Amino acid sequence: DADVTQTPRNRITKTGKRIMLECSQTKGHDRMYWYRQDPGLGLRLIYYSFDVKDINKGEISDGYSVSRQAQAKFSLSLESAIPNQTALYFCATSDSGQHTDTQYFGPGTRLTVL
């Protein structure tokens, strides 16, 4: 079984709809992250969380919100989806957040906003 799972894997939605992407992990890590990937732009950080009470904005948080329901779950919401939010979204985890900690990525969610 995968250590970091994301649901759904693919989603097509319409402009203005509310969308939630979910991430779960069984690694027991405290830190969780949401990234989006656009062609030619690499991975850009949307939000990150160090524990259930510590949530931080990344470089592109506008238009997104998150919820850390438990240590193992971190959800990303698009309150009113727009076409330029069409992208591949990755969730990731890391252990203690030290600068040498490896991040472990989920399989990604491909979101299309029409």
**Residue ranges that bind other proteins, judged by CB under 8 A:** 4, 33, 35, 40-45, 48, 50, 56, 58-59, 90, 97, 99-100, 102-108
- C-beta of 31: minimal distance to other proteins in Å? 9
Structure tokens at 65: 């919100």
DSSP lists the bridge partners of residue 73 as 24, 70
73 or 105: CB nearest other proteins = 105
85 or 94: CB nearest other proteins = 94
Q: How many beta carbons lie within 10 A of that of residue 47, not counting itself?
A: 21
- C-beta of 78: minimal distance to other proteins in Å? 21
- Give Cα 100 to chain centroid, integer Å: 21
CA–CA distance, 86 with 49 (Å, rounded to integer): 23
